[in-house]
Structures are given as structure tokens and as C-alpha cells.
Amino acid sequence: MTVTTPLIVEDLSFRYRSREVPAIQEINLSIEPAQVVLLAGASGCGKTTLIRCINGLIPRSYKGDLTGRVLLQGQEVTELSLARISQIVGTVLQDPERQILGSIVRNEVAFGLENLGWERAEIRAAIDAALDRLKITHLRERETHFLSGGEKQKVALAGVLAMRPNILMLDEPLASLDPASAQEALDLVRRLADEGMTVLMVEHRVEDVLRIHPERVLFMKDGRIHYDGTPENIQRNVEFREVKLPARMILAAAREDPPPAEIQALPSASTGTQSPMVEFKDVAFAYEGGPEILHHIDLKINRGDVIAVLGPNGAGKTTLVKHAIGLLKPSSGQVLVNGQDTHHLSVAEIASTLGYVFQSPSHMLFAPTVREELAFGPTNLKHPAEQIREEVSQAVEIVNLGGYEETPPLSMSFGQQKRVSIAAILAMRSRILVMDEPTAGQDYKNYMTFMNSILQLPAFEAILFITHDIDMAVIFANRVLLVNDGQIVSDGPPYEVLYDQQRLIDNRLVPTSLLQVNLDYFPMTQKFCSAESLAHRVPMNG
């Protein structure tokens, strides 16, 4: 019996109508059943465009010049209806906000099955099986609006798995997941492939995916596939500055480079008596009619702090940060910004002190061009016209978006949109920069570059970022907050918070290879740093 190859891509090229150059060029690819294929590459290299061609969104939803063809189980995508494609290919998008339509979790998971005309009993069974497989049965009756970003990502995946596709495409599936959830998701991907499913996974967190032994690794650059081979040969064929590899691999490769520049810390408060910039006093919070989410939060954000906020999905991290910027007001207790209670301040008044980058770019972006998007905040803060031009120009340079100033933000890749949203806040020059998952959708080179640049900006007196990337805390933070179940579990310097592996595991965090080598060499270095920096601090045989 002949088995049809699930996915074949032949001489595929595509140029968006709004762009001058092709997003992908001459892609040839054949993927067999029961394979996990990792697709990596820098932000904007064409990974998401390739996925859109495979799942039929190009040319239906995204218009432009398309040549070549995509075959799903031997049938051309352009000749299949979207309903038929959805039964063959299940896609989980980078940004779950764009995928979730249902107001209740069970309705969201049922949505695709209802559209395919399944019987009610079959739908209920499929919902239960998908939620159980992802260990989110407890979310069944929750409103999707109140889910965390990671919880939404799991619900989106459940909705796709419930339809039992032959091919599963995952676009940055780990971006919003806490480390333990990411491991569970990857283990599930491995099981699905072992059961016969074809899985194509776009992911910047290469080190995490290598743990489940993908059969193939594809590396894209400038719209083309530059490497197609086994994981064992990735170190020799993939640029370590662009893709995040295991720390020991980077240590070996980075020794050949000159030492990187030292990451400069923000200037700290000049005296111990200086008032905190932001202070939480016994803060508790519950949405109207709902359970309490934050409990007894006491916290001070001081000048010079670079704070990484770590913790599992649904722990209350984003809720905590939204109190600092005035989007939420405490049910009890006080949040003070510059000594003033946020109950008496508008969000606009707080914005000159705290600038906030949302987890989802779609919550922020609206302007017709990148330049207008970046100028909006400074204009509303009544900055002078010449200053605005300078602020926009510097922000574009920091996030590596030169040449995109006239591009519509919503036509860009998720990773590029994320950088636009960061640049929009950088241009405002708020005193405290607050970022929710700043590395989501970002390749290693981009996030190292913009984080280093941000720390050099004299405008920022403190930085706070929510992240599931422990390495971000290792490299850039001088203080780590560990949040779980609406409480601050630990607060202190990175070494003090991160050395206890059992504490990390108890809070659904997973020690990374970079954390481990930093812990190994800490008696020698007395500081945490990047693998590139560590390569020039430790002995060759270390």
C-alpha cells in the first residue's frame, strides 16, 4: 500500500503586495509522517509566511505574488477549501489573541468541530480528550478573556488537537508558556509524532526543542532554507548569534570572537533614604465577582532596578504589573507611583513615569505606519517636534527596524510587531520601562541587541520585565521576583533566587544550560552573564 507524503513544497516563492522583495524564495521541502521538524531562523526571515502558504491563508487572506505549489496529502492547497485544509492541517498561531474566538474555553475548543458538523456527543468527548491531554481540564468553564497568555496558548492548541489533524503546525508555541508547561507541550508534540502525526514547529527556543530529538532541523535566512539536516550537525551549520543554542555550544564557538562589551547596569539610587519610584502596600486584587488573584503584595521598585518577574502561567504576574501602570486598581491596599496613590491618577498621568509594552502586540498597534506608531506616544505627552523625530529615530535603531519606517505594523511578522510595540514605548522616554514577555517572537540576536541598547539609555531609571525565559533574568536582571499563586515567593539578586533548583521546580521553572554553567562558575566569576561573556571568563577546559 502506497503512503502519500503528507506535505510537499515545490519551488515556492511569495511576495506580499505591500512589500518590494519576496518574503520567501524557491522553497523546496518534503516532510514524512511521524516526524518533528524544527524550523528556525531570525525574526522576519520568512518562517511564518511559509506556514501561511501551507495552511492556505496565502493566497486567501494575504495577497501578493505566489509561485510554486504546496501539496497536502497529494492535493494542491489552492484547490482545497479552507474547511478541508483545516481537517488536514492544524495551526497554532504565535499570538493566541488572534486565534481565540469563543468567550468560554469549552466553546472555543468546540468551535472548529461545530463548523465541521460533528455530533454533540462526539464534540463533548473531543473537548474532554483535548483538555485532558494538555492538563487544562480545570479551565473548561473559564472565560477566555481572563486567561493568562500561556493559558490562552494551551486553549488554542486544544482547539486544534480536538480536530485531529494529520499535520500540526506550531508557530512559536513556547513563547507564552512557563518552562514546565513548555516541556509538557514538547513532550506532547513528541508523542503525537510517535503516533504518526507530522509536526512542523517554528521556534526560537532551539535548545528546548532539541531535547525531544526532532528528526530534522531547517534553518531559514532571507526567505530561503540555508540548512536542512539533522540536529547533530546544527552547531556547524547554524549561526549561534542568530539562534539560541545550548550554552556549552555557545561557549565553544564564542571563544573565537572578541569579548562582548560589558552590560552596563542602570545607575542606582544615590542615597538609601530616597523614596521608591513605585510601592505596593499590602495589595490584594479580585476582578468583580471573581476569586482573589493577588494576595498581600508588598513591593518597592527603586531607581537602578532591573527586575525580572518569573513564575508559572496564571500566577498573577501580568495582573501585578498592570497595577503599577494603573490599568488595574487594588481591591485593598495601596499602589503608590512617585508617592501618589494610583486611585487618584489616570493611566495617562502614570504613563510619563511607567511605559508598558503589552504581551500581545495586537493590543497596542493601530497606526498606518511604523513611524506614526512610534510618534503617537511622544506626541500625546506633548514632546517638541524635533525631540519626537530624534526619539523615533533612536527607537527604530535600537530594535533593528531601519528601513521599515513606512511599513504598516499590522502587515509585519509577529516578532517584528513585538519590536514595534517595544519601540513605541522606548520613544516615549518614560522613567520606568515595563515589558511583558519582550523576547516573544524574537531571535537571539535581536533580543540581545535591544536589551543591551535599552540598558544604555539614560532615560530609564528602572526596568521591569515579565519573562518565561530564565536566561533573560540570568543575563540582564540585577533583581528577580518569583511570583506564584498571586504572591511574591522570592525577591532578591539572581543568584540568591535561582540557585535553589527545587524552588524553581516547585514554581514550574526549569533550570537552563546557561543558568547551570553560571552556577558552576559563580565561585570564580561572582556574577551571572551571557554565554558569550562567560566564554572569556572561564578556562578553556572548564
On whether residue 96 sits in a domain, the answer given is: yes
Is 225 among the domain residues? yes
CB of 402 within 8 A of CB of 396? yes
Residue with cell 472555543: 108
Contact 5, 75 (CB under 8 A): no
Distance between CA atoms of residues 231 and 225, nearest Å:
15
**Has residue 221 got a pLDDT over 80?**
yes
Where is pLDDT greater, at 64 or 447? 64
The stretch 510-529 carries a mean pLDDT of: 94
The Cα 169–Cα 203 span in angstroms is 11
Higher pLDDT, 315 or 265: 315
Q: Which of 114-118, 159-163, 394-398, 413-417 has the lowest mean pLDDT?
A: 413-417
pLDDT confidence tier of residue 512, bands split at 50, 70 and 90: very high
Does the pLDDT value for residue 268 go beyond 70? no
* Predicted TM-score of the model (pTM): 0.83
What are 148-185's pLDDT values in tens digits?
878 888 899 999 999 889 999 998 888 778 898 889 88
| Of 490, 455, 498, the residue nearest 473 (C-alpha) | 498
Decide if 326 is inside a domain.
Answer: no
What are the b/e assignments for 454-471, b being 16+ CB within 10 Å? bbeeeebbbbbbbbbbbb
Q: Does 370 lie in the same domain as 232?
A: no
Within-domain flag for 258: no
Q: Tell me: pLDDT of 334 over 80.
A: yes
Mean pLDDT within 322-329: 94
Let me know if residue 384 belongs to a domain: yes
pLDDT at 44: 82
Q: Which of 388, 407, 427 is the last residue of a domain?
A: 427
CA-based max dimension of the chain: 79
Q: What is the pLDDT of residues 350-383, one digit of tens each?
A: 988 999 988 888 778 889 999 999 999 999 888 9
Average pLDDT over residues 33-57: 92
Q: Is the pLDDT of residue 491 over 90?
A: yes
Q: Which pLDDT score, from 0 to 100, does residue 272 have? A: 54
Does 95 reside within a domain? yes
Position 83 pLDDT exceeds 90: no
Task: Return phi, psi of residue 106, to 5°.
Answer: -60, -35
CATH number, domain at 93? 3.40.50.300
Q: Between 279 and 241, whose confidence is greater? A: 279
Q: What is the number of structural domains in the chain? A: 2
Lowest mean pLDDT segment, chosen from 123-137, 143-157, 222-236, 491-505? 143-157
Task: Locate the DSSP E strands across 232-339.
Answer: 278-286, 292-301, 306-310, 332-337
Mean pLDDT on 420-426:
90
Instruction: Determine what percent of the chain is predicted with pLDDT higher than 70.
Output: 97
Domain end residue (candidates: 380, 401, 427) = 427
Query: Looking at residues 424-446, what average pLDDT do you find?
Result: 87
Section 219-241 average pLDDT: 89
Domain-embedded: residue 84: yes
Answer for the pair 459, 431: CB distance below 8 angstroms, yes or no.
yes
- Same domain for 373 and 229? no
Per the prediction, the chain carries an average pLDDT of: 90
pLDDT value of position 199? 95
Q: Which residues have CB under 8 Å from 507's CB, separation 6+?
A: 310, 311, 312, 315, 482, 484, 489
371 and 233 part of one domain: no
pLDDT of the residue at 541: 61
Nearest to 96 by CA among 287, 242, 313: 313
Q: Tell me whether residue 520 is in a domain.
A: no
Least confident segment among 120-124, 239-243, 362-366, 533-537: 239-243
pLDDT given for residue 271 in this prediction: 46
What span, in angstroms and rounded, lies between the C-alpha atoms of 530 and 93?
A: 30
Q: Confidence class of residue 1 from pLDDT cuts 50, 70 and 90?
A: very low
| Domain-terminating residue out of 213, 238, 263 | 238
Helix, strand or coil, per DSSP, at residue 493: coil
Q: Which residue would you say has higher pLDDT here, 60 or 266?
A: 60
Question: Quick check: 414 pLDDT over 90?
Answer: no
Whether residue 217 is found in the same domain as residue 68: yes
What pLDDT does 172 receive?
85
Q: Tell me the residue range of the domain where 418 lies.
A: 366-427
